[in-house]
């Protein structure tokens, strides 16, 4: 059976970009758990669902979230109830609301079931904030990516700018600071490094360097 790889860290540390490339190089499935929470947040906002635990947990039970590979571009798409919302989940309004949704234990429990189903057969690269500590505590390899707040803010700003989303660097920085605080202090499965994870400060590292390091570790 192929191994499972957990990659955790705060917003803007490069988790998603790194995880995608690691999965490609190893021929594994990439599971973007953050995108799952964003997808559910997007649906709640679109449908005017109250942001309370019971309402959102019920929404999670009746929502289909999956990943598909775009044959033309090779890009991984996020599909919610049959709709491609890959770009929609990166909009500021979703980013501002996702932390609250992700703080509810019953919502996390619903999505964790799906995440563990993806990993059950092995060969998964999964990134998030609680993968190595809660979702996949028995993952074969665990990595915790971090970077300075300035670097993380700039990365997220450029990502959104390239997608045509109008934001300022200051807005992104403030958003990340608030998100970090909420993620670290939530009661259920907070953001923290697993004791057996390897920490990687990506502030002065390229994506390629981080990917190469992780792939070499896992191929051993």
Assign residue 110 a region (left: φ > 0; alpha: ψ between -120 and 50; beta: otherwise). Answer: alpha
CA distance 128 to 3: 17
pLDDT tens for residues 157-208? 998 888 888 889 999 999 899 989 988 988 888 898 999 999 999 999 999 9
Residues 6 or more apart in contact with residue 204 via CB below 8 angstroms: none
Report the pLDDT averaged over residues 89-104.
91
pLDDT tens for residues 37-59? 999 999 999 999 999 999 999 99
User: What's the CATH fold of domain 4-215?
Assistant: Rossmann fold (3.40.50)
Domain boundaries, the chain: 4-215
Give the full edge-to-edge strand order of the sheet including 65-69.
Answer: 65-69, 76-80, 83-84
């Amino acid at each position: 059976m192929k191994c499972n790889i957990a990659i955790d860290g705060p917003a803007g540390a490069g988790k998603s970009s790194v995880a995608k490339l690691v999965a490609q190089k190893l021929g594994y499935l990439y599971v973007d758990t953050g995108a799952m929470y964003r997808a559910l947040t997007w649906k709640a906002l679109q449908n005017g669902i109250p942001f309370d635990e019971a309402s959102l947990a019920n929404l999670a039970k009746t929502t289909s979230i999956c990943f598909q590979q775009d044959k033309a571009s090779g890009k991984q798409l996020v599909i919610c109830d049959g709709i491609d919302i890959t770009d929609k989940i990166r909009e500021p309004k979703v980013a501002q609301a996702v932390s609250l949704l992700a703080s509810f234990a019953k919502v996390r429990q619903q999505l964790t079931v799906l995440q563990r189903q993806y990993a059950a057969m092995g060969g998964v690269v999964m990134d998030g904030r609680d993968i190595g500590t809660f979702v996949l505590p028995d993952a074969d390899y665990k990595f915790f990516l971090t970077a300075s707040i300035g670097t993380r803010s700039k990365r997220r700003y450029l990502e959104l700018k390239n997608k045509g989303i109008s934001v300022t660097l200051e807005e992104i920085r403030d958003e990340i600071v608030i998100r970090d605080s909420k993620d670290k202090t939530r009661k259920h499965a907070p953001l923290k490094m697993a004791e057996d994870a390897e920490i990687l400060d990506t502030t002065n590292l390229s994506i390629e360097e981080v990917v190469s390091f992780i792939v070499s570790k896992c191929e051993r």
